[in-house]
Structure 1
Amino acid sequence: MKTISLLMLALILASAGTDTSLSKKEIKFSTKYIDTSMSLAISAVENLSPKQWNYRPNDEAWTIAEICEHMLIAEKGILGRIQNQIVTDEANRQLADGEGITNEELILRIKDRSPDKRVKTGEQFEPSGILKTPQDFIKQYSAARKATQEYLKTTDVDLTAYYGKSPLGLVSAYQWTLIMSAHAERHTGQIVEVQSSANYPK
């Protein structure tokens, strides 16, 4: 009996050691953050008129349509990078001493739209005018977010164990899903700034 008990204990410990999926807490946090940040973005644009959707505060600023397109491009691009680059290369499991950032700090820094924290986006994330209406954005953005949530819920890859370069240094594939939502909050703030400008159409 004692031998059997020890054998069962060994099997349980071995099984626990090979469980590489995300924890329920991690999945819940990221999927809920996806929902709340998406709701904020959608509520900011769903009732806009064509003039409001395409209003440009100045020659250097994006329209709300362009901001939304940028958000959509980033959403699809980040998920694709996680699936096709970060977690497919075992070399990405390396994290040097002193590297890394907490989830809380990452979210706060990505959301921060202070003037000294603003940077020009990469060419691949530049909008090109493909979203003609808020409804175009809502439909495509909702589908993209659903795909991210489904991946989080179904992947058997430990997303906390693979790392990829970000504006904040190396972050885990799981943290890249948090970047998606913090990025959405950041640009929802930008939408509100456009709506608060002096000549914004009523």
Structure 2
Amino acid sequence: MKRFSTILMSMLLIGGMTLQAQTEISKEEKAVVIKYLKETQNDMIKVLKGLSEAQLNFKPDAGSWSVAECLKHITISESALWGNFVTGAMATAADPSRRGEVQMTDDQIMGLIESREQKVKTFPPFEPNNKPESVKDVLKEFKSLRAEHIKFVKKTNADLRNHYGTLPFGTVDTYQAILFMAGHTKRHTDQMKEVMANASFPKQ
């Protein structure tokens, strides 16, 4: 009987450790999202480097955003997405019972947000005119935010898979929300590149 109790206790401990391991993102998951956060930041900074005021503020037409406006939208979104879908989501209790609500894979999330095939009008709070600061100041703010977010991912042992948020296309877990945020930067960096490819884009 004593032997049986010892075996049972060992099984429970092993089961508990397995459950704990499953509630933390893996080293591989951390590496993927950190790489994505860094790459999307670096690509955007590279695109912005050396642009003149005329180039930053050029619009292909009245209904399009300039490169500067894309940056402002990205920075507004960086703060809002993190606040709502990471800080806000992590303030609630983890709920593994809701995993079935997450219908998209990580790769599908990234593909969806990166794609420029379907254009979507942003919500009023995310409009670039809500950020009147200079491009230099906005870029500094973005870099500071992204540094904080990368630092969080590097250090956290939080259960990012069992906290959730709702985006227009459905429920995502917190890990996917961070992927979405990084992909959002790429989406609008590609928009910057489209503006710069316009035949009327200033030479300097």
Confirm or deny: 8 A CA contact 1:65 1:131 kept in the other structure: no
Confirm or deny: 8 A CA contact 1:54 1:63 kept in the other structure: yes
Q: How does 1:21-170 map to 2 (within 5 A)?
A: 21-90=24-93, 94-95=97-98, 97=100, 99-114=102-117, 117-128=118-129, 129-133=131-135, 135-170=136-171
Deviation (angstroms), 1:198 = 2.0
Q: What is the identity, as a one-letter code, of the residue corresponding to 2:164? A: Y
Unaligned residue ranges in structure 2 (runs of 5+) = none
Name the CA distance, whole Å, in 1 between partners of 2:159 and 2:137. 34
Confirm or deny: 8 A CA contact 1:94 1:162 kept in the other structure: no
- Alignment: residue pair count: 199
Q: Which residue of 2 aligns with 1:195?
A: 196
Name the CA distance, whole Å, in 1 between partners of 2:95 and 2:122. 24
Q: What is the identity, as a one-letter code, of the residue corresponding to 1:148? A: H
Unaligned residue ranges in structure 1 (runs of 5+) = none
Name the CA distance, whole Å, in 1 between partners of 2:171 and 2:132. 32
Residue by residue over 1:129-161, the C-alpha shift from the partner in whole angstroms, topping out at 9 and shown as x without a partner, is: 43423x334322221111111221223321111
Q: Is 49-58 or 151-160 further displaced after alignment?
A: 151-160
Residue by residue over 1:18-65, the C-alpha shift from the partner in whole angstroms, topping out at 9 and shown as x without a partner, is: 343211111110010001111111100021011111112211111111
Residue by residue over 1:73-106, the C-alpha shift from the partner in whole angstroms, topping out at 9 and shown as x without a partner, is: 1111111113442222238655374751011111
Runs of 4+ in 1 over 4 A off after TM superposition: 2-5, 7-10, 91-94, 96-99
TM-score (norm 1): 0.87
Q: Which residue of 1 aligns with 2:18?
A: 16
Name the CA distance, whole Å, in 1 between partners of 2:133 and 2:195. 17
Q: Is 86-95 or 99-108 further displaced after alignment?
A: 86-95
Q: What is the identity, as a one-letter code, of the residue corresponding to 1:156? A: N
Name the CA distance, whole Å, in 2 between partners of 1:96 and 1:16. 18
Residue by residue over 1:105-124, the C-alpha shift from the partner in whole angstroms, topping out at 9 and shown as x without a partner, is: 1111111111xx11110111
Name the CA distance, whole Å, in 1 between partners of 2:31 and 2:185. 18
Name the CA distance, whole Å, in 2 between partners of 1:98 and 1:16. 23
TM-score (norm 2): 0.86
Confirm or deny: 8 A CA contact 1:95 1:170 kept in the other structure: no
Confirm or deny: 8 A CA contact 1:161 1:172 kept in the other structure: yes
Q: Which residue of 2 aligns with 1:174?
A: 175
Q: What is the identity, as a one-letter code, of the residue corresponding to 2:179? A: L
Q: Is 165-174 or 29-38 further displaced after alignment?
A: 165-174
Name the CA distance, whole Å, in 2 between partners of 1:8 and 1:97. 30
Query: Secondary structure of 1:70's partner?
Result: helix
